Amino acid sequence: MENQFLKNFTDILDDHPNFKLDLDSKFRDLDEWDSLTALSLIAMLDDEYKITVTGDQIKNLETLGDIFKLLK
C-alpha cells in the first residue's frame, strides 16, 4: 500500500522528482511543488482513495507520511 501510494503521488508530478521519495520526504521541497500540484494531490486522494481533503488541510501537512496517515 505504501509503495502504491508513493507511485500514485509520483504520478501527479509533471516531471521526475528531484529527490528520492519516501514517507519521510517533505513534499514541499520538490522543485515543482505549487498550487497545481496541491490541487492534483487533492484530486488523486479523491480518485484513488475516496478521501476528501481541503487545500487548508494540505497546508498543515509536512511529509508524505503525513498524507499517508490520512488513508488509514
Partner 1 sequence: MNVFESAFSLKNSKILITGASSGIGREIAIIAAKHGAIIYAVGRNQEKLNLLEEIIGHKNCKTFSIDLTNIDKVKKLIKDIDNIDGLVNCAGLIKMSPYKFITQNSFSETFNINVEAPIFLTTTLLKSRKINNGSSIVFISSINGSCIGAKGFTLYATSKGAISGLVKSLAADLSKLKIRVNEIAPGMIITDGLNSIEESVSTSSIQEDMNKYPLGGYGSPNDVANGCVYLLSSASKWVTGTKLIIDGGFTLK
Contacts to partner 1 by CB under 8 A: 11-12, 34-36, 38-40, 42-44, 47, 54-56, 58-59
Using the minimum distance from each CB to partner 1, give the nearer residue, 41 or 64. Answer: 41
Q: How far is CA 62 from the centre of its chain?
A: 10
Using the minimum distance from each CB to partner 1, give the nearer residue, 29 or 55. Answer: 55
Using the minimum distance from each CB to partner 1, give the nearer residue, 24 or 60. Answer: 60
Torsions phi, psi for 33 (to 5 deg): -65, 125
Q: Residue 64 CB, nearest distance to partner 1 (Å)?
A: 18
- Residue spans of beta strands (DSSP E) within 1-72: none
Grid cell at residue 54: 481541503
